[in-house]
């Protein structure tokens, strides 16, 4: 049986998959906690999470973009 602490540990690869997955669906509680803990301990993954948010924002603006020139 695995200790409970290891259930909350995620590698950067796993954290990145969770960051992307939360764009499409709500994460379950263990995944949300594990991701939060990983983001607090890692230097690179929060930057990736911010990049994903930036892309989401840009895509939202692109979807709402209207060409005012009439083309």
pTM score of the predicted model: 0.76
Angle (CA) 52-62-56 rounded to 5° is 15
Per domain, the residue ranges of the chain are 4-61
- pLDDT bin (cut points 50, 70, 90) of residue 65 is confident
Closest C-alpha among 47, 49, 56, 44 to residue 32? 49
**pLDDT band at residue 69, thresholds of 50, 70 and 90?**
low
Q: What is the per-residue pLDDT for 27? A: 97
């Amino acid at each position: 049986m695995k200790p409970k602490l290891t259930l909350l540990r995620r590698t950067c690869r796993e954290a990145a998959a969770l960051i992307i997955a939360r764009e499409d669906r709500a994460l379950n509680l263990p995944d949300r906690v594990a991701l939060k803990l990983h983001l607090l301990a890692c230097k690179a993954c929060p930057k990736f999470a911010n990049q994903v948010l930036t892309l989401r924002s840009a895509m939202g603006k692109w979807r709402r973009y209207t060409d005012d020139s009439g083309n």
